Structures are given as structure tokens and as C-alpha cells.
Chains A and B, each alone.
Chain A
Amino acid sequence: MKHSGNLTVTTPSDREIAMARVFDAPRRLVFDAYTTCEYLKRWLGAFDTWSLDECSIDLRIGGAYRWHWTQATDGMVLGMRGVYLELTIGERIVCTELFDDAWYEGEAICTITFVESGGKTTLTQTVRYATKEARDGVLESGMTGGVTASFDALAELLASSSTNTNT
């Protein structure tokens, strides 16, 4: 994947997952692409056989958003919704995030920032999970794959995350 080195995924704390990605476009455009259904349908989870077939966004504090995806071949679906808690147009979004088939307890809080420098925009998205005690029962068993391979992959992820945490 040509841009894959670009995306960093980190786990800054035991309840957070953070992600950063640089886009070769002004902040205004990246923000629009992130908050307009017409545009979201073009990219968010819209790859392989998946499509974002339902989208509604009420972009204001207290406003709700809803996204729903369908997979063409197997008919699998996935939906999520949330409410905007903080909003600075073009700069920052804080919202709740809850999947329809929530496999964890409590809403997650998502913070998205758009920072422009030299015509490029760094998008940072941090999701903080409210989960304290979740049910192990839902956990699917039958994890496959080589132990060492998994470990190597994780080590790689973490190594890239630790070098990027402070930048």
C-alpha cells in the first residue's frame, strides 16, 4: 500500500486509540470531506464490497449523526451513531460514538482535530472508550494465526507508535 506508512495508530492510554494521518489538502477541504454525507459516502468505510448507504449529519453542538454500512456480497451491515459535543468548524470535533451492535459498554468519546501546515492537513482522531467492565462472553473465540506472527505484527505497530507519540 503506497500510503500505508503515513498512518500511525497508537494506544496512548489503556482506554484510548489514537490515529494520525497527513493529507495533501487544506484543512477546510479535509473538514468538509469529514462532515458532509455526500463526501463521506465516497470514502468512509467505502472500499472493497462495502458502502456507506445511510448517512445523516446534523452538524451543530447537540446534533446527531448516523452512519450505516452494507456489504454487497454477504449482506452484512454495520451502523453507528453519536452526538456532537463540541464543534469548531474546520478545526475540531468532539462527539460520542456508539455502534449499533455495541460489543462494549458505554459510549466512546471521539476527538478529531484538523491542523494545517504548508498546505497539508494533519488529521488526528482519538477514541476514548468508557468501558470498564465488558463482558468476556461476547468475545469470539477461535483466534487463528501464528503466535509469533501476531506478536511481530503488534510489536511493529507499537514500535511505530512509540516513535511517533511525541511528534
Chain B
Amino acid sequence: MELYGYGTIIPARLDATFSALADPTRRAILARLASGDASVAELAKPFAMSQPAISKHLKVLERAGLISHSLDAQRRPRRLEAMPLAEATEWLERYREFWEKSFLRLDDLLEELKAKEKKSARPKKRGNRK
């Protein structure tokens, strides 16, 4: 099934992703993980936050499928999972592209409508002056 516009991915499936991404700390955690796996302690370091607080964020990210952790009992490093992010990005990009391109056309139309209004307003003004 090929769909046009922004209709290729199910928004419901993206709910968890977008919800997880709505928080700046969680976005920063993902940005850190994009450059490589990291343990909870390593992830907590740049934030003025306790490890339990960070763990809470990690849980949300994990539930959304955005990250996973390996079973290495000592470090349990977190890893960025690409798929949900790629889906969310693709969907948003299509959505944006659809409207961006449409709105550029709308800009042109509005210029035309404004010009038309000016034109039809002009004879009236002249009439008033007389």
C-alpha cells in the first residue's frame, strides 16, 4: 500500500514515541546515546539529577522502544534503538513537507488575491474622489 503525503505511518504507533520525546532531558539522553552506548551512571553525569531520576526517564524511553539495555549485569549499558525514531522522523518529515509545499502555493495565491482586491478597490476610490 503506497500512500501519499504524510500517511505512511500510523500515528497511534507513534504516540509513545512522541510522548517520550516531549521531554528535553529524554531528548538529551537520546542525543548522548546516538554517539554510543552508555551506562546509567554515565548518562546521569551531565545532568543535575539523581540516578533514580534518570532511571525514570530511561524507563519511559524503554517503554517507547527508543532504547534498550543489554544484559551485562554490571553496567547494563543503554542503547539507542533506531526504528521508532526513524518512523517518527519520517512521519513528521512527510507531514511537514506536505504542508510546506502547499503553503508555498498558498503564498502565491494570496498575493494574487491581494492584487485582485487592490484592483477592484481602485475604481471605487476614484469614484469617491469625484
Partner-B contacts on A (CB < 8 A): 1, 3-4, 6-7, 9, 11, 13-15, 17, 19, 21, 23-25, 29-30, 32-33, 39, 42-48, 50, 69, 71, 76, 78, 99, 101, 103-105, 108, 129, 131-136, 138-140, 143, 145, 147-148, 150-151, 153-155, 157-158, 162
Contact = CB atoms under 8 A, between A and B. Distances in A.
B110 A25 contact: yes
Contacts of B22: 11, 13-14
Interface string B1-24: 111110111111101101101101
A12 to B, nearest CB: 8
Interface centre among A14, A99, A104 (most CB of B within 10 A): A14
A9 B10 CA distance: 17
Given A71-B4, A147-B82, A43 B109 contact: yes
A160 B12 CA distance: 23
A103 B107 contact: no
B42 interface: no
A48 B101 CA distance: 9
Given A147-B85, A148-B34, A155 B11 contact: no
- The 3 A-B residue pairs whose C-beta atoms are closest, nearest first, are A134-B12, A131-B12, A14-B19
B105 A43 contact: yes
Interface string B100-130: 1111111111110110010000000000000
Contact of B89 (A104, A138, A157): A157
Contacts of A43: 102-103, 105-106, 108-109
Contacts of B85: 147, 150-151, 154
Given A78-B4, A158-B21, A151 B110 contact: no
B14 to A, nearest CB: 8
B109 A39 contact: yes
A114 B109 CA distance: 17
Contacts of A155: 27, 30-31
